[in-house]
Amino acid sequence: MAFEALKAQVYMILDEIAARPKDRHILQENLREKLAELSALGLPLPEDLVRLEAELERQDADEVYPVRS
């Protein structure tokens, strides 16, 4: 699959995450899969998407292990 097509799919997933926040975890997994596809093809990963995925991971960790004062 061409880089532009994969990139378009990634951005469609991001739109779905925004529209359906309750399904975020499922959609986040889809995002990981698309980023892995790009990486496996030796294509560059858009830095903004890598940062977003890292931020979503951090949020997941915060939900599981909330910071207590």
- 17 assigned to some structural domain: yes
Say what the pLDDT of residue 69 is.
57
Task: Examine residue 16 and state whether it is found in any structural domain, yes or no.
Answer: yes
pLDDT confidence of residue 65: 66
Find the domain containing 60 and state its range: 3-64
Q: According to the model, what pLDDT value does residue 59 have?
A: 82
Give the model's pLDDT for residue 57. Answer: 85
Q: How far apart are CA 10 and CA 38, in angstroms?
A: 10
Our count of domains for the chain comes to 1
Inside any domain, residue 18: yes
Closest CA to 52 of 23, 13, 3: 13
- Tally of CA atoms within 13 A in the half-sphere of 48 that contains its CB: 4
pLDDT, tens digit, 9 for 90 and up, residues 3-36: 788 778 888 888 888 888 888 888 888 888 888 8
Position 69 in a domain: no
Confidence (pTM): 0.68
Q: Is residue 25 part of a domain?
A: yes
In a domain, residue 56? The reply is yes
